[in-house]
Amino acid sequence: GEDVEQSLFLSVREGDSSVINCTYTDSSSTYLYWYKQEPGAGLQLLTYIFSNMDMKQDQRLTVLLNKKDKHLSLRIADTQTGDSAIYFCARLIGNYGQNFVFGPGTRLSVLP
């Protein structure tokens, strides 16, 4: 996962917006993803974006993709304590375009 980078920690206050950032080095991916992982659990698919799009919105989640800068972000509006988790950025690669390279994850802490 060394070609997908994320900051490791983010703290926000409940009700504020959170912005989690991700950069990657290889622009050949077809899709880019955000997954959420709560302690001791598997990964929950939050959203994904096709590489020819620059924005996708899904309820409280907004994904922005800047292909030129190879930068992906996830904005969570009105962040709640239940949003506290680790958020992984991932890009789809592989000979069959089917496996992920994940970033190291950003641990989001939501303070009351």
Between CA 95 and CA 101 the distance in angstroms is: 13
CA atoms within 13 A on the CB side of 93: 13
User: Which one, 17 or 109, has the nearer CB to another protein?
Assistant: 109
Between CA 51 and CA 31 the distance in angstroms is: 5
**Binding another protein by CB under 8 A: which of 52, 59, 69, 96?**
96
Identify residue 37 by its one-letter amino acid code: Q
Pick the piece of the chain touching another protein (CB under 8 A) from 12-20, 55-63, 73-81, 87-95. 87-95
Between CA 24 and CA 9 the distance in angstroms is: 18
CB 46 within 8 A of CB 35: yes
**Binding another protein by CB under 8 A: which of 53, 61, 64, 92?**
92
Between CA 32 and CA 92 the distance in angstroms is: 6
Does 48 bind another protein (CB under 8 A)? Our answer is: yes
Does 43 bind another protein (CB under 8 A)? Our answer is: yes
Does 101 bind another protein (CB under 8 A)? Our answer is: yes
Least distance from another protein to the Cβ atom of residue 45, Å: 6
Least distance from another protein to the Cβ atom of residue 9, Å: 12
Interacting residues toward another protein by CB under 8 A: 1, 4, 30-31, 35, 41-45, 48, 50, 88, 90, 92, 94-96, 98-105
